[in-house]
Every structure is written in C-alpha cells, then in structure tokens.
Amino acid sequence: MAEMTPEQQQALAIAAARLRLQRQPQQPQQPQSLPADDAISVARTGVGGLLEGIPIVGPMIRGGTERAAAATLAAFSDETYDQVMDRIHDANRAEKEANPKVDRGAQIAGAVAGTIPAVMAAPAAFGAGGGNLLLRSGISGLTNATINGADAAVRSGGDPEAIWHGMKVGGLFGLGGPVAGKVIGGVARSLVDTVRTRAAAGMAGMDPEAFGYFRRAVADDGLDAVTLPQRLQEMGPKAIPADLGPNLQKQAGALAATPGPAQTTIRTTLADRAAGANARIGQTIDETAGRPVVPSEIQADIAANQNAHSPLYREAFREATPYNTEPIASALEADISRLRGPAQARLRQVRGMLNIADSNVLSTDPNVMFQTRQAIDGLLKTEVDPKVISALVEARQMLDDGLTRAVPRIKEVDAGYAELARQDEAVTRGQQVLDSGRTAPRPSELAGEVERGAQPQGMQIGPSAVPLRLSQGARAEIDRIVGTNSNDIVAMNRLIKGEGDWNRARLATLFGPEKAERLFKVLDNESIYADTANTVTRNSETAARLAAQNELGGGSGNFGVKEAFKAGGFLGAARSAAIDKVDGIVKALMSSNTGNATRESLARALVGEQREKLVEGLIRAQGMGTTPSLVDPVVKALLLNAGTARTR
C-alpha cells in the first residue's frame, strides 16, 4: 500500500467497496402497486365478492383460492408464503374499501346464486310447493335459521353470540319466504302473461282481450295448441272451435245474443253450415253405400225377369213325358190320415191339385205337377205355422223330384228362377238390417246370410247376387231414414247408428268396415254440428231474454252459491261456483264495456277463421298462468341472504 500512488490507493478502495456491495444480500424490488379503484381491482373485487358471498362455504372457497395463489407466488419469488399472504390481504382490504358497492353487490349475487340450487333441489325444505301456508312458513323459517346460524359460525370463528343473532335474523326472514314468494310470483306471472298475451294475440291476428277469452275457454275445455287442431281435423272440414267444448259454446252463445257484427258472424256461420248438412250426409252415403235405390222398382225388375222364364219353361216341357204321380199321392194321403189341424187341411188341398180338373182321377201331366209346386211356393210365402211349413216343404220336394225325372231340363230353368227369387227375398231382408226388433238379424247372422247368399245353388253357374240385393235393401232403408228425418240430424244419427254396435257391424258386413266407419264418423260430426247450433242459439236466446228482463226490472234475481247450497248441498254449491265462473265471462262479453272489435275478433276465432294463426298464437301462449320457474327460488334466496347480510 505504501508503494502505491494516491490514485492507485483510491481505485483499490472503490473496488473493495463494490465487492462488499456485491456480497451483501439483494433486497427484492417491491412492485409498484396499482390504484385500488382501477378496472383490474374492480374485477378482482367482484370475483372475490361472488366467491365470498356463497353461504357457509364462501369464505372457505375464497380463502382456499388465496392460499393457493400465495403458495404459487412464493415458489417463484424470494418472498416467504406469509409475506405474500399479508400482501394479498392488504390488497383485498384496500380494494374493498375503494369499491364497497361492487363488493356488496357481488356478495349478494354470489349468495343468491349459491342458494338457488339448494332451493331447487329441496323446495319443500324452503317452504315451496303446496300445502298449508303456515306449515310451509314454519319449515322455511327453520331452514333459514339453520343456514344463517351456520354461516355466522363460519364467518365469526364460532362466536356464540354471532351464531344466535344469525339464527334469529335468518328465521325471521325465512318465515316470510312463502308469503313473499306467492305475492312476488303472482306479480311476475301477471307481468309475463301480459307480455305473452299481446305477443300471442298478434301472432293469432286477434284483439288481445278477445284472445285472452278464447285461450281461457280452450284451456277450460281441456284443449291446447296440439289437441285443438287435431280435434278439428277429426271432425271434418266444417268443424269450428265452438264445436269442441261447452266453454267455447257458451262464448259463442253470448256473442250470438249480443247485437252487432259478432252476432252476425256466429249466426250466419252456423246457419250456412246447417243448410248444407243434408247435402253432406247424402254425398257421404252415396260414396259409402252406393246410389239411392227404390225397393219396389228393384223387385219389379226381378219379377219381370222371372216372367221372362216362362218361354224357357215351355221349351223345357216340350221334352216332357207323362209321369205316374200315384206314389206321390199315396204319400200325401198317408200324411193326411196321420196329421190333424191346419197341416192336414193344407195337404188335403195339395192332394186335390194333383187330380185332373173336376175329377178324382190322378193326372200324369208334368204341367200339373209344376203348377202344384208353384201353388205350394205361394202358400209358403204367407204361412207361419211351422207344422204346416214342414208338411208343405216335404210335399214340394216330392213333386220337385218327380219333375226332375219327367222334365230333364227343368232344373236349368229352375236355377235361374230360384236365383231371382232369392234376390227378391234379399231386398226385403236388407231393409230389416237396421231394425231394432226381433226381425233384425244379429251381426253374426247377417254375416252368415251374406256368405251363404254368395254361393250358387242348384245348377246355377257363378256367384249369386244376393249380397248385392241385401246391401241395396239396406241402402234403401238408410235413404228412408234420411228422408223422414232431414230436419232432425240427431234423430237421423240415432236411427242409423242404433243404440249399440250392431248397426256398425252389420253395415260393415254389407259395405265394408272402412266405408261404414266413414259413414258413422260423418253422422257423428253432423250431430255435433247440430248440437252446437242448438246450444248456441238456445243459450243466446235465454241470455237475451234474461238481459231484457233485468233491464226492464222483471228479472227474477240471481241464483248464487248460497241458493245452490240450499237446493243441492255442497255438490250444488260446487256446481254453481263452476257455472258462475263461465257465466262471468258470458256477462263480460255481453257487457257494454267489451267493445264490438273485441267481440268480433272472438267471433271470428270461434267460427274457425285463420285457424292456422290461432294455433300459432296458442303455441306462443303456452305457459301462461304459471309462475316462471326461477321466481320462487330467487325470492327464497334473496330473503335468505337478506337475513345473512344483516349478520355479516
């Protein structure tokens, strides 16, 4: 050092000082803190408040996230874990003080969001659902007291005074939960329904008030946007919404009783539809059962065809040979000696027919046997005594066997004649198909007659026309019923359909199941149309008379629930209350407070104008009258956390 110059000594001292500084531990550079009310701080305050606001577990969740962040920062810096935690706590405290409203709002939002799932998962525990209001309030108060007490315990570190205070406040707010939920739910439902009604009415092309009336009647009649168009389609192209239920019909009746455009719309639609009822029924009958026929004309044609067989019989008898009828006469005489009463008398009459005219000598002329057989056929048509019928049938069979041997070709001619005779009988039988008396065939009997009638008999070639004649006879009977009841669709429907299912089965046998079902469906629809017209006009006339009586001071007064109870007890009172609900709507429609535009709009809906738009409007209105699903949980969560907030 002594040998160094002063400059060298000064340089060495500076270098030593620098070395000492380099060996000293470096203090970490403190980051420059951001202001506590900037955007990042506000965001951190909101997120932290959301987590911290969750009841009971909120502080644990926020504390866990902060500890995880502190551990991560400490691992990548020279700071200790405690130093980082202290810095985080200081920053949180500064941000809360700088943004108190954000912190409070975030905590409330977190509390509500954290409570809603619990309310939805166990609604009964929070006083939601049905049941006694007092009981639900008690349950809600107990649940809220428990949750608030537990939350206070977590946030106060187990302070008994804070826990007790939290339970009291939570229970108090919980008691009011069901009542508040009901009130607020009603307000929310009303507001939502108002918005939905206007939107749905616009989509349906209706006045909002009229749409409200219409939608209520649709719902009260058990219909909705799906079932209403389905029912209309099932009831045919002439169906209108007023056909679908009593509430819709009552609205139509009220409009039909109130002078104005709505009355004209309702009455004109129903009158025009009724005027075309017979034409629609007639067209359906023609399409399902064939063109109308007159039985006497058919049977006259059959008789003419039978008469046309006379030349054929004469031709066949040219080849006839004499026939010994003594065996036949002997058999008849034996039966005559044995039988008594009408059967004996008839056989004695037949035996005399075999003699030569005005003599007791048996004839051998096959024509005599033929005429005797024809006479027996005539007797059988009117005979009802079974013993006489049996004796005559046996005698006829003997004569028929003799004719077959005496006139070889007679059976060919007989086959054609017999087929016509069967057809003649089938026409008469077909007219009995829809009877309800003993002469009417059972469905199984008719099916058997049709099956047997289609089979050729004797020497006939090809199928028989008996089934056709049966159906023509039934068609003629339907035509007769329609013609004699053209002004009474209900009676027409009853006579054709019958009381049970027999007529349906019998007509299905004659015309086919699909055609019979279609015919019955049209008759049902027309009966409903007629019932709607009768109900609407009858109700409207009654309503108009009552309105006039009340206006003139001659009304008999109101028959309310009290009077109904006196007359019919609890059931009478219940029925009266239900009817009064509908009658209230009817009175509103007839009131001068309801404008013509509203009534006309409703009338157009009831008669089915723009039914596609009506359906769209009903679809849009689905859910009306119900409280939005989140209203009750949100109300419960707000009340619960309002109490919690007072204890924090």
What are 342-362's pLDDT values in tens digits?
999 999 999 999 999 888 899
pLDDT band at 499 (very low <50, low <70, confident <90, very high): confident
596, pLDDT greater than 80: yes
Cβ atoms within 10 Å, residue 589: 25
> What is the pTM assigned to this prediction?
0.59
Over the stretch 289-316, which tens digit does the pLDDT of each residue have? 999 999 999 999 999 998 988 888 888 8
645, pLDDT greater than 60: no
> Which is higher by pLDDT, 591 or 479?
479
Which residues are CB-contacts of 426 (< 8 A; sequence separation ≥ 6)? 453, 465, 466, 467, 469, 470, 473
212, pLDDT greater than 50: yes
* Residue 635 φ/ψ region, left for φ over 0, alpha for ψ in the -120 to 50 degree band, beta for the rest: alpha
Residue 126 is predicted with a pLDDT of 64
560, pLDDT greater than 50: no
35, pLDDT greater than 90: no
Computed over every residue of the chain, the mean pLDDT equals 79
Over the stretch 163-199, which tens digit does the pLDDT of each residue have? 787 777 776 776 666 666 666 555 555 555 666 677 7
Minimal CA–CA distance to 62: which of 43, 73, 76, 47?
47
15, pLDDT greater than 90: no
Token pair listed for 125? 């525990």
DSSP 355: B
Longest dimension (CA), the chain: 197
Residue 109 is predicted with a pLDDT of 76
Residue 1 is predicted with a pLDDT of 47
Minimal CA–CA distance to 238: which of 206, 284, 269?
269
pLDDT band at 545 (very low <50, low <70, confident <90, very high): very low
Residue 65 is predicted with a pLDDT of 79
329, pLDDT greater than 90: yes
123, pLDDT greater than 90: no
> Which is higher by pLDDT, 88 or 612?
612
DSSP 123: G
494, pLDDT greater than 80: yes
Asked if 62 contacts 51 with a C-beta cutoff of 8 angstroms, the reply is: yes
**Least confident window among 90-94, 507-511, 610-614:** 90-94
How large a percentage of the chain has pLDDT more than 70?
A: 73
Q: For the residues 502-509, what does the mean pLDDT come to?
A: 92
630, pLDDT greater than 60: no
How large a percentage of the chain has pLDDT more than 90?
A: 37
Strand-pair partners of 355:
362
Q: Give the angle subtended at the CA of 78 by the CAs of 76 and 79, to the nearest 5°.
A: 95
